[in-house]
């Protein structure tokens, strides 16, 4: 199959010195072995540690976001209270205007009675 073909071609290239293996090749090969072994041995531990750090970072961001949302909800409820008190102010102004109209009408009627009695 293809594996036998690859091995036989690589053996041919190395044995005829078409592909020359220098000391740097062996250094690279040993470095590759060390990298693969370190990823296999230490990879899950480092990944777990980094995941904890990322989770902590996300939790901090979510706490900040939730606190901001809470503050804005408090501001919205306060603003609604202020708006309802302004509606109360409008009602008070309408009542005062109505009272003034009633006072004017009472004064008008008193004067009408006074005119009627004088005439």
Residue 17 confidence (pLDDT):
86
CA distance 67 to 37: 45
Q: What tens digit of pLDDT does each residue of 44-63 get? A: 999 999 999 999 999 999 99
pTM: 0.49
Instruction: Give the total residue count for the chain.
Output: 119
Question: Has residue 71 got a pLDDT over 90?
Answer: yes
For residues 12 and 8, give the distance between their C-alpha atoms in angstroms, rounded to a whole number.
6
- Residue 75: both structure tokens together: 């501001």
Burial class (CB in 10 A: 0-12, 13-18, 19+), 115: exposed
């Amino acid at each position: 199959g293809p594996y036998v073909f690859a091995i036989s071609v690589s053996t041919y290239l190395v044995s005829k010195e078409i592909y020359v293996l220098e000391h740097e090749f062996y250094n690279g090969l040993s470095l590759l072995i060390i990298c693969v072994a370190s990823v296999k041995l230490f990879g899950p531990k480092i990944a777990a540690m980094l995941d904890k750090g990322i989770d902590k970072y996300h939790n901090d961001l979510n706490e900040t976001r939730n606190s901001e949302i809470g503050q804005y909800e408090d501001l919205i409820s306060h603003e609604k209270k202020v708006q309802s008190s302004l509606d109360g102010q409008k009602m008070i102004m309408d009542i005062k205007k109505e009272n003034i109209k009633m006072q004017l009408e009472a004064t008008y009627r008193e004067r009408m009675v006074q005119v009627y009695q004088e005439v």
